[in-house]
């Protein structure tokens, strides 16, 4: 028998909590797209250009991490039944800190301005460590779904390591010798951020979200249980090798680990989705396919020693942004409907008919956003690979897809607000 007596609607955060994170995210993708358009000829020629450094942090912190944080605050009470992770006021402060920090950090990296980077990094570090602390506290107090709890806990551990390394790298760039790291640690920082924070969380929630939203069988259970530990072990080994100066092993071990772990995850995801009980044309599933294909291509690109920027484009724009967009297009309509339904029940307003999930974000917008985002990924990848003149158009499409996503989210929020007003008005 399951003990659910302590659960209540009060565990789920108000609608505004995840939405604050979600509405902020497209702004950073828009700025990143415009930034790529301003210097298309050399923007993706090297991983060390100020444009690449700034764009990477705009996308990874401002877009992907923002959506991941908002989703986690909502998903943990719904999937695992944890208590509410943070209050609405704390979440609001977190949105401001992450948004402001990302803007300042990216500006500092773009302009090679040390103090700007420092202030931005300090805001991001403060917010992300506070977020990690609150998530771990909520997980520790919960007893639901052991597998996903461990995946999320390991992802949050990876976030903490990424944040510390990032802070030390910023210190190193500003000429702070006591930070003890040099430029070569960037690979380790990147690995913990992409494979650890982003990858582990993805693996953790995919095992639940795919069966829940697409009625597909859960991806191979043994694999989903083993992967978080295998990836964490790999990342710890890499860090150890970097620490003792065996940095030469990094380019060999990492792609093999990526191939085996994330390649396995991507293939398991495809297999599971092909077996779904109600196969229908669903644009949100297209984001998952694009993400999984990008992971496989990134691993191959790394093995073929293609430019590192290509791998970065595939993992960040192709995989990270696609998975987060696909998740957004599912959970925002669901949350909108769910919060309205809860209010309807509480106020006993059986006279009010709620919109369907399609009424919040329709399939047409999702189809267009998927098409534009896929084209942006392809053009940016070609630009990074062949130094072809496709970066300007890729940046334009990235900015366009961000605007479309913003429109979709604002439409859902507007529709929610309108129906919520009807529900709270006297019958």
Partner 1 sequence: MERVLDVSTLEPPEPLERILDALADLPDGDWLNVLHRREPHPLYGMLRDMDYHWRTTARGPNRFEILIWPADLGAEPPSGSGSC
Q: What does the per-residue mask of binding to partner 1 show for 266-295, with x meaning CB under 8 A?
A: -----------xx-----------------
358 binds partner 1 (CB under 8 A): no
For partner 1, the binding residue among 249, 303, 345, 388 (CB under 8 A) is: 345
Name 148's Cβ contacts closer than 8 Å, sequence gap at least 6.
Answer: 79, 80, 204, 205, 207, 208
Angstrom distance (rounded) from CA 190 to CA 194: 6
For partner 1, the binding residue among 92, 100, 114, 218 (CB under 8 A) is: 218
50 binds partner 1 (CB under 8 A): no
For partner 1, the binding residue among 131, 192, 287, 337 (CB under 8 A) is: 337
Burial of 259 (0-12, 13-18, 19+ CB in 10 A): middle
Footprint of partner 1 on 84-143 (CB under 8 A): none
State the nearest-atom distance from the C-beta of 359 to partner 1, in Å.
12
Longest pairwise C-alpha distance within the chain: 71
Query: Ramachandran region of residue 355, left (φ > 0), alpha (ψ -120 to 50) or beta?
Result: beta
Angstrom distance (rounded) from CA 44 to CA 46: 6
State the nearest-atom distance from the C-beta of 332 to partner 1, in Å.
13
Q: CB of 324 within 8 A of CB of 63?
A: yes
For partner 1, the binding residue among 122, 130, 212, 230 (CB under 8 A) is: 212
Angstrom distance (rounded) from CA 290 to CA 311: 14
223 binds partner 1 (CB under 8 A): no
192/338 with CB nearer partner 1: 338
9 binds partner 1 (CB under 8 A): yes
8 binds partner 1 (CB under 8 A): yes
Q: CB of 311 within 8 A of CB of 296?
A: no
Angstrom distance (rounded) from CA 83 to CA 29: 32
Name 25's Cβ contacts closer than 8 Å, sequence gap at least 6.
Answer: 62, 63, 64, 66, 67, 70, 324, 405
144 binds partner 1 (CB under 8 A): yes
362 binds partner 1 (CB under 8 A): no
For partner 1, the binding residue among 70, 77, 120, 318 (CB under 8 A) is: 77
404 binds partner 1 (CB under 8 A): no
DSSP string covering 217-245, please? PPS-HHHHHHHHHHHHHHHHHHHHHHHTT
Angstrom distance (rounded) from CA 231 to CA 261: 7
4 binds partner 1 (CB under 8 A): yes
Q: CB of 210 within 8 A of CB of 163?
A: no
119/212 with CB nearer partner 1: 212
357 binds partner 1 (CB under 8 A): yes
Residues near partner 1 (CB under 8 A), total: 34
List of residues contacting partner 1 (CB under 8 A): 1-2, 4, 7-12, 77-81, 144, 208, 211-215, 218, 221, 277-278, 334, 337-338, 341-342, 345-346, 350, 357
């Amino acid at each position: 028998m399951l003990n659910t007596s302590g659960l209540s609607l009060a565990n789920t955060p108000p609608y505004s909590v995840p939405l604050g994170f979600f509405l902020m995210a497209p702004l950073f993708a828009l700025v990143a797209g415009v930034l790529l358009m301003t210097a298309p000829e050399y923007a993706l020629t090297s991983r060390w250009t100020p444009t690449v450094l700034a764009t990477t942090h705009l996308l990874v912190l401002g877009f992907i991490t923002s959506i991941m944080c908002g989703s986690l605050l909502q998903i943990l009470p719904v999937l695992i039944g944890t208590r509410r992770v943070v209050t609405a006021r704390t979440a609001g402060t977190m949105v401001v800190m992450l948004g402001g920090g990302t803007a300042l950090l990216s500006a500092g990296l773009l302009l090679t301005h040390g103090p700007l980077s420092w202030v931005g990094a300090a805001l991001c570090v403060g917010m992300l460590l506070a977020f990690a602390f609150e998530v771990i506290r909520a997980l520790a107090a919960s007893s639901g779904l052991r597998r996903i709890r461990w995946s999320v806990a390991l992802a949050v551990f990876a976030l903490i390591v990424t944040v510390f390394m990032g802070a030390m790298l910023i210190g190193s760039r500003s000429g702070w010798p006591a930070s003890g790291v040099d430029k070569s640690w960037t690979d380790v920082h990147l690995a913990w951020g992409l494979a650890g924070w982003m990858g582990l969380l993805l693996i953790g929630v995919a095992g639940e979200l795919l069966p829940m939203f697409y009625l597909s069988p859960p991806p191979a259970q043994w694999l989903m249980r083993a992967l978080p530990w295998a990836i964490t072990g790999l990342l710890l080994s890499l860090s150890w090798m970097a620490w003792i100066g065996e940095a030469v092993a990094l380019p060999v071990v990492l792609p093999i680990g990526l191939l085996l772990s994330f390649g396995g995850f991507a293939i398991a995801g495809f297999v599971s989705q092909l077996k779904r009980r109600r196969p229908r044309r669903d644009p949100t599933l297209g984001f998952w396919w694009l993400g999984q294909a990008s992971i496989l291509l990134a691993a191959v690109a790394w093995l073929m020693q293609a430019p590192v920027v290509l791998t970065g484009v595939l993992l960040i724009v192709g995989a990270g942004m696609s998975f987060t967009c696909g998740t957004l297009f599912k959970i925002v309509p669901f949350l909108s409907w769910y919060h309205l339904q809860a209010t309807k029940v509480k106020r006993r307003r059986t006279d009010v008919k709620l919109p369907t999930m399609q009424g919040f974000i329709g399939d047409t917008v999702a189809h267009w956003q998927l098409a534009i985002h896929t084209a942006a990924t392809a053009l940016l990848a070609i630009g990074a690979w062949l130094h072809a003149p496709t970066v300007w158009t890729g940046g334009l499409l990235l900015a366009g897809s961000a605007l479309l996503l913003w429109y979709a989210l604002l439409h859902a929020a507007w529709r929610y607000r309108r129906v919520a007003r009807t529900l709270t008005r006297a019958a």
